[in-house]
């Protein structure tokens, strides 16, 4: 059972983010970390491979600056190796361009299953995984809260607004997992020490046979035309108790329809 | 080494996440209640594979002991070749835990470092298997019982606990106090003077080391003491009244005082223990500084943040100086270990003396900086101040460190 997990390395959300004033793109210079939302896919993949008793987990990621810090975290959790597509021409790539690059890299790994998060924490388009599946001609199942492999087929509980759907699919397939699917493990000390010697294959887009015109800002079909600050949250209502506070609290809760 | 490496930072950040998820929600129960720390320590061990690492290390040590200590021990090899940075991997969790609960480090260090360490060093292969492994993995809790009510710093000379031969067995009597993990220990390393009926003055008698099991007839383990701080580390007394043990409980199964046994074994832990206290001080100082800087930024008085006042700035500056100095000492110890060198007794003692005093001063100044809030448990610095005080007392008091520094310098 070979599983590829698409992982994204993003600027640390704990530090204040900054946007390039020219392109409105997030500035990704410096150290990047593993997107928290990808830790669930990594953990799911590790559990599935462990249960299958054979195979390995391969990470696939893309970044303009050759950064591997985030990948090392996932390797420390237990992934066997990583493929990193790093190329100056990737700066400004949109979701579809990213999907083309990742799909080409995933093809090389010949996985039985591809896992991804439902969306990244820095971009939130949530479109790349299904585009990858489409490019590779594979079925895609989104919003999985439970993933099982039964022989050659995939069984997924797919989160919906009302509950969940039970979905079956042949393999290979692509699945996006929610944060509820599994609890990501902490990397062990041994894992952290082993991570630095695990292979990270760094490829350019030329290695993948992709034309530079299809990626980066040149190939992008999406453009961020404007960025504006989100509305500040309105301040709360302060109730001064003049003997009727309890009634006003009840009224407030009734307005919210929680009573 | 002037900063943590990428790999070390990954360990630090991972440990931090664990502490925030598993320790911080229980701080009130650990520090103001009676929650023993052992389940949290076991979870720490299981989460980071420390239990498996301990099992692997145990096997190497056991094989070596069976070979009659012929092969070079991992410790000896590390001393010759360097430890490849392993000291940092031990010290980083210590630093990080001391941001919140120094007591957890104490409970863990005594069980794994002192109790298991002594058994692994002095014990026979059978004794190592019987008691050592479970302590190294934290499946069982260990205590290391040397201090007595009438002998603290003079623990070996002033020891009154006795071991009297009775056929093939020994009868043990005595009281031990200030015993970390004493109330909960499953396995106790117990030091006693051999009473062979001769005229040898008690101060000069052989010191023997025994291993005791919880529940042995005649062995009483007290309830935890009420104490100033370090509440997450349970401390108690042990009372031995005619505890009868076979020779299989005598470490090494011999009364011969070999190198590394009895008195030597108690002293052999000095450097490791003192470097550990420096790392503990670093974590505590880092936390006090972080909390103090945040408070100095946020707290407004007379329409101005208190951080703009020079008297507050002086406190922050002194805390930063202490942090830098202690961090440099810890980094130096890590670098020396990686190079296959170790601190001299004077250096280890100086490091401990300085770090412990710095931690106490920083924590008390943090309380002062917070004013009335600093005296309240909610703001946490009062706990760190109470905890820091013990750094100047255990693992050799400040006063003992002074004598060790001087003795080492004068006797060279």
d(CA A133, CA A111): 12
In the three-class reduction of DSSP (H, G, I as helix; E, B as strand; rest coil), residue A11 is classed as strand
Chain A interface includes B89 (CB < 8 A): yes
At what angle are helices A36-52 and A69-77 packed, to 10 degrees? 30
Helix extents (H) in A19-162: 36-52, 69-77, 95-109, 128-136
User: Nearest-CA neighbor of A116 among A161, A147, A137?
Assistant: A147
Tell me if A232 is assigned to some domain: no
Number of alpha carbons in the 13 Å side-chain half-sphere of residue B270 = 23
Residues of chain B in contact with residue A189, where contact means CB-CB under 8 angstroms, are 11, 48-50, 53, 89
Task: Give me the number of domains chain A comprises.
Answer: 1
- Give the CA distances from residue B179 to residues B213, B270, B351, B383, in Å, rounded to whole numbers and listed in that order: 15, 17, 24, 21
**A192 vs B7, B17, B47: nearest CB:** B7
Predicted local distance difference test score (pLDDT) of residue B267? 61
Task: From chain B, pick out residues whose CB is under 8 angstroms from the CB of A69.
Answer: 6
In a 3-state reduction of DSSP, which class is residue B152? coil
A21 CA to centre of own chain: 25
CATH 1.20.272 assigned to B6-141: no
Per-residue pLDDT of chain A (259 residues; tens, 9 = 90+): 999 999 999 998 888 888 888 888 888 877 899 999 999 999 999 999 999 999 999 999 998 788 899 999 999 999 999 999 998 888 889 999 999 999 999 999 999 999 999 999 888 889 999 999 999 999 999 999 999 998 889 999 999 999 999 999 999 999 999 998 899 999 999 999 999 999 999 999 999 999 988 898 888 988 888 988 888 888 888 888 999 999 999 999 999 888 8
Residue A252 lies in a domain: no
DSSP state of B204: G
pLDDT at B156: 85
Kind of pairing between the strands at A153-159 and A140-150: antiparallel
- Which residues are registered as beta bridge partners of A81? A58
CA B321 to chain centre: 25
Residue from A66, A16, A69, A13 nearest A37 by CA: A13
* DSSP codes, B76-90: HHHHHH--TTHHHHH
pLDDT of residue A223: 85
- Look at B11 and A190 and tell me if their CB atoms are within 8 Å: no
Domain B269-411 listed as CATH 1.20.140.10: yes
CATH of residue A168's domain is 3.40.50.620
Tally of CB atoms within 10 A around B219: 18
Pairs across A and B, CB distance < 8 A: 36
The residue of chain A nearest to residue B43, with distances taken between CA atoms, is A186
Phi-psi group of A256: left, alpha or beta (phi > 0 → left; psi -120 to 50 → alpha; rest → beta)? alpha
Chain centroid to CA B79: 21
Helix axes B310-338, B86-97, angle to 10 degrees: 150
CB contact under 8 A, B48 and A186: yes
Domain extent at residue A76? 2-219
Structural domain includes residue A107 = yes
Closest-CA distance of chain A to residue B107, Å:
21
Q: Which residue of A has its CA nearest to B15?
A: A186
Angstroms from B293 CA to nearest CA on chain A: 18
| Chain A residues whose beta carbon lies within 8 Å of the beta carbon of residue B49 | 188-191
B18 touches chain A (CB under 8 A): yes
Q: Evaluate if pTM is beyond 0.95.
A: no
Q: Do A187 and B47 touch (CB under 8 A)?
A: no
Q: Flag whether A110 is in a domain.
A: yes
- Among candidate residues A177, A5, A148, the one with its CA nearest the CA of residue A78: A5
CB-based contact B53 A186, cutoff 8 Å: no
Residues of A in contact with B18 (CB under 8 A): 186
- Pick from B6, B47, B52: CB nearest A186: B47
Per-residue pLDDT, B143: 98
Q: Do B47 and A188 touch (CB under 8 A)?
A: yes
Residues of A in contact with B48 (CB under 8 A): 186, 188-189
Q: Is A72 touching B (CB cutoff 8 A)?
A: yes
Instruction: Determine the Cα–Cα distance for residues B173 and B151; give it in Å rounded to an integer.
Output: 16
**DSSP-derived secondary structure letter, A167:** E
> CB A190 to CB B52 under 8 A?
yes
> Are the beta carbons of A186 and B6 separated by less than 8 Å?
no
CA end-to-end distance (rounded Å), chain B: 29
Q: Which of A88, A93, A95, A34 is nearest to A61 (CA)?
A: A34
Domain annotation covers residue A125: yes
Q: Least CA distance to A185: which residue of chain B?
A: B47
Per domain, the residue ranges of chain B are 6-141, 144-261, 269-411
3-state secondary structure of A209: coil
Please name the helix (run of DSSP H) or strand (run of DSSP E) that holds residue B272, with its range, or none. Answer: helix B270-298
Cβ neighbours, 10 Å, residue B346:
18
Residue B158: is it exposed, middle or buried by C-beta count within 10 angstroms (0-12/13-18/19+)? middle
CB within 8 Å of B230: residues ≥ 6 apart: B102, B103, B106, B386, B387, B390
CB-based contact (8 Å) between A46 and chain B?
A: no
Say what the pLDDT of residue B263 is. 63
3-class DSSP state for residue B189?
A: strand
* Number of neighbours of residue B215 by Cβ within 10 angstroms: 8
Mutation target among A32, A184, A189, A194 for the B interface, most CBs of B within 10 A = A189
**CB-CB under 8 Å, A191 with B49:** yes
Q: Write the pLDDT tens digit of every residue in A47-89.
A: 999 999 999 999 999 987 888 999 999 999 999 999 999 988 8
**Closest-CA residue in chain B for A33?**
B10
> Which CATH architecture fits B144-261?
Beta Barrel (2.40)
Q: Is A243 part of any domain?
A: no
Q: Which residue(s) pair with A167 in the sheet? A: A156
User: Can you give the pLDDT of all 412 residues of chain B as single tens digits?
Assistant: 899 999 999 999 999 999 999 999 999 999 988 899 999 999 999 999 999 999 999 999 999 888 876 666 666 666 667 777 788 999 999 999 999 999 999 999 999 999 999 999 999 999 999 999 999 999 999 999 999 998 878 888 899 999 999 999 999 999 999 999 999 999 999 999 999 888 898 899 999 999 999 999 999 999 999 999 999 999 999 999 999 999 999 999 988 876 555 566 556 677 888 999 999 999 999 999 999 999 999 999 999 999 999 999 999 999 999 999 999 999 999 999 999 888 899 999 999 999 999 999 999 999 999 999 999 999 999 999 999 999 999 999 999 999 999 999 999 8
**Cβ of B397 under 8 Å from any chain A Cβ?**
no
């Amino acid at each position: 059972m070979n599983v590829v997990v698409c992982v994204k390395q993003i600027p640390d959300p704990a530090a204040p983010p900054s946007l390039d004033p020219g392109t409105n793109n997030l500035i990704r210079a410096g150290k990047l970390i593993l997107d928290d939302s990808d830790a669930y896919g990594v953990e799911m993949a590790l559990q599935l491979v462990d249960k299958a008793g054979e195979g390995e987990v391969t990470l696939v990621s893309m970044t303009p600056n050759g950064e591997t810090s985030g990948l090392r975290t996932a390797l420390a959790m237990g992934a066997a190796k990583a493929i990193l597509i790093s190329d100056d021409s990737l700066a400004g790539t949109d979701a579809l361009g990213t999907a083309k690059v990742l799909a080409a890299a995933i093809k090389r790994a010949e996985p039985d299953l591809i896992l991804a998060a439902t969306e990244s924490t820095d971009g939130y388009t949530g479109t790349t995984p299904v585009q990858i599946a489409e490019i590779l001609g594979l079925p895609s199942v989104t919003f999985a809260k439970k993933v099982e492999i039964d022989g050659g087929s995939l069984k997924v509980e797919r989160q919906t607004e009302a509950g969940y759907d039970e979905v079956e699919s042949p393999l290979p397939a692509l699945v996006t997992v929610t944060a509820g699917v599994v609890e990501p493990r902490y990397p062990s000390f041994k894992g952290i020490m082993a991570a630095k010697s695990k292979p990270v294959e760094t490829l350019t887009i030329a290695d993948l046979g992709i034309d530079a015109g299809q990626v980066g800002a040149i190939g992008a079909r999406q453009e961020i035309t404007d960025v504006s600050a989100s509305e500040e949250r309105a301040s709360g209502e302060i109730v001064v108790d003049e003997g009727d506070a309890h009634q006003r609290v009840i009224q407030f809760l009734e307005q919210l329809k929680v009573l | 080494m002037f900063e943590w490496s990428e790999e070390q930072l990954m360990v630090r950040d991972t440990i931090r996440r664990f502490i925030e998820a598993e320790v911080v929600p229980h701080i009130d129960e650990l520090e103001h209640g009676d929650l023993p720390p052992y389940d949290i320590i076991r979870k720490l061990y299981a989460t980071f594979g420390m239990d498996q690492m301990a099992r692997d290390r145990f096997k190497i040590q056991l094989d070596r002991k069976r070979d009659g200590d012929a092969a070079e021990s991992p410790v000896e090899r590390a001393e010759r070749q360097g430890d490849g940075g392993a000291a940092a991997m031990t010290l980083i969790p210590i630093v990080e835990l001391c941001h919140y609960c120094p007591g957890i480090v104490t409970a863990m260090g005594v069980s794994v470092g002192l109790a298991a360490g002594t058994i692994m060093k002095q014990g026979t292969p059978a004794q190592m298997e019987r008691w050592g492994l479970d302590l190294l993995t934290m499946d069982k809790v260990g205590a290391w019982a040397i201090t007595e009510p009438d002998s603290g710093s003079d623990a070996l000379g002033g020891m009154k606990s006795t071991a009297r031969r009775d056929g093939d067995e020994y009868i043990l009597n005595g009281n031990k106090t200030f015993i970390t993990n004493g109330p909960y220990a499953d396995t106790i390393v117990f030091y006693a003077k051999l009473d062979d009926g001769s005229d040898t003055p008690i101060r000069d008698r052989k010191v023997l080391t025994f291993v005791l099991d919880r529940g042995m007839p005649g062995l009483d383990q007290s309830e935890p003491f009420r104490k100033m701080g370090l509440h997450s580390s349970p401390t108690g007394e042990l009372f031995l009244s005619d505890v009868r043990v076979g020779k299989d409980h005598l470490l090494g199964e011999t009364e011969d005082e070999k190198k590394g046994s009895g008195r030597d074994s108690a002293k052999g832990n000095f450097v490791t223990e003192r470097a550990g206290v420096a790392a503990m001080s670093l974590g505590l100082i880092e936390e006090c500084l972080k909390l103090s800087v945040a408070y100095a930024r946020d707290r407004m008085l007379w329409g101005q943040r208190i951080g703009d006042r020079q008297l507050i700035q002086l406190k922050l500056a002194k805390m930063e100086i202490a942090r830098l100095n202690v961090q440099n000492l810890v980094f130096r110890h890590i670098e020396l270990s990686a190079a296959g060198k170790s601190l001299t007794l004077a250096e280890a003692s100086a490091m401990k003396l300085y770090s412990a005093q710095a931690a106490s001063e920083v924590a008390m100044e943090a309380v002062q900086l917070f004013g009335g809030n600093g005296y309240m448990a909610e703001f946490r610095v009062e706990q760190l101040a109470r905890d820091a005080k013990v750094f100047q007392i255990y693992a050799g008091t400040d006063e003992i460190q002074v004598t060790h520094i001087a003795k080492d310098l004068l006797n060279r």
